[in-house]
């Protein structure tokens, strides 16, 4: 038997147990298992493993469904509260970029004039112009990251507290 037929047999063994296979594949697999001891042993081991898994009893709390529904409702409410703030942040960012693009030539000329007036090297006032653009974005990113970190730490605390109570 070729290696490809063994690979196909392994795939069909797994697929048969999960989602089913066509009748042609089933006939081919039965014939292959009849002649191949290794693949037949694999099929038997998979069947035994699945039978042993079906025998496990998993105890879940009686109120698991209601607790889950409650948590989903809380999260939905939290997301609804956050959504308007996020829209405001996106609107502020869009306005900032629009105003920044519109004022860029004037800010460039102002930095150039200040650089010439003070005798500052060209690279210094060009870096200053770059920072003029970068600092507000960095401040906004820092605020958003700090807010998300605070929210994540509150969520972990709440999750820890509720999981201890279960």
Instruction: Give me the half-sphere count of Cα atoms (radius 13 Å) on the Cβ side of residue 157.
Output: 6
Rounded to the nearest angstrom, the gap between the alpha carbon of residue 74 and the centroid of all alpha carbons in its chain is 20
How much is the mean pLDDT over the chain? 82
Whether residue 158 is predicted with pLDDT greater than 80 in this model: the reply is: no
Residue that is written with structure tokens 């989903």 in the block: 72
Last residue of a domain, one of 11, 38, 54: 54
pLDDT at 92: 79
Per-residue confidence (pLDDT) for residue 2, from 0 to 100? 62
Q: Are residues 30 and 98 in the same domain?
A: no
- Position 62 in a domain: no
Domain-located, residue 43: yes
Can you give the pTM of this predicted structure?
0.36
90 and 158 part of one domain = yes
- Say yes or no to pLDDT of 150 above 90: no
Number of structural domains the chain divides into: 2
pLDDT of 76 > 80? The answer is yes
Highest mean pLDDT among 34-43, 79-88, 96-105, 130-139: 34-43
Q: Does residue 138 fall inside a structural domain?
A: yes
144 pLDDT higher than 90: no
| Shared domain check, 86 and 40 | no
pLDDT higher at 136 or 26: 26
For the segment 32-48, what is each residue's pLDDT rounded down to a tens digit?
A: 999 999 999 999 999 88
**H-run or E-run covering 6:** helix 3-18
In degrees, to the nearest 5, what angle opens at C-alpha 55 toward C-alphas 54 and 56?
95
Q: Which of the pair, 81 or 33, is modelled with greater confidence?
A: 33
Look at residue 67 and tell me if it is in a domain.
no
Q: Which residues contact 144 (CB under 8 A, 6 or more apart)?
A: 89
The pLDDT of residue 86 is 72
Sequence-distant (≥ 6) Cβ neighbours of residue 154 within 8 angstroms: none
User: In the predicted model, is pLDDT for residue 164 greater than 70?
Assistant: no
| Token output for 151 | 């929210």
| Alpha-carbon span 97 to 137, nearest angstrom | 10
So what's the pLDDT on residue 159?
47
Report, as an integer, the average pLDDT of 108-118: 91
Q: Is 148 within a domain?
A: yes
Domain enclosing residue 116, as ranges: 82-165
Q: Are residues 41 and 87 in the same domain?
A: no
Residue 160 counted as domain residue: yes
State the sign of the Cα–Cα–Cα–Cα dihedral 65, 66, 71, 74.
positive
Contact in structure between 42 and 10 (CB atoms under 8 Å): yes
In a domain, 98, yes or no: yes
């Amino acid at each position: 038997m070729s290696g490809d037929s063994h690979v196909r047999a392994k795939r069909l063994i797994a697929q048969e147990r999960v989602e089913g296979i066509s009748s042609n594949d089933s006939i081919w697999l039965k014939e292959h298992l009849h002649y191949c001891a290794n693949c037949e042993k694999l099929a038997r081991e998979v069947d035994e493993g699945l039978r042993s898994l079906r025998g496990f009893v998993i105890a879940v709390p009686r109120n698991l469904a209601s607790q889950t529904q409650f948590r989903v409702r809380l999260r939905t409410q939290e997301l609804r509260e956050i959504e308007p703030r996020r829209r405001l942040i996106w609107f502020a960012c869009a306005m900032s970029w629009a105003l920044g693009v519109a004022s860029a030539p004037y800010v460039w000329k102002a930095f150039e004039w200040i650089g010439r007036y003070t005798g500052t090297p060209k690279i210094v006032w060009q870096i200053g112009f770059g920072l003029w653009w970068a600092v507000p974005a960095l401040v906004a990113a820092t605020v958003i990251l700090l807010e998300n970190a605070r929210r994540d730490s509150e969520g972990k605390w709440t999750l820890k507290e509720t999981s201890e109570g279960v």
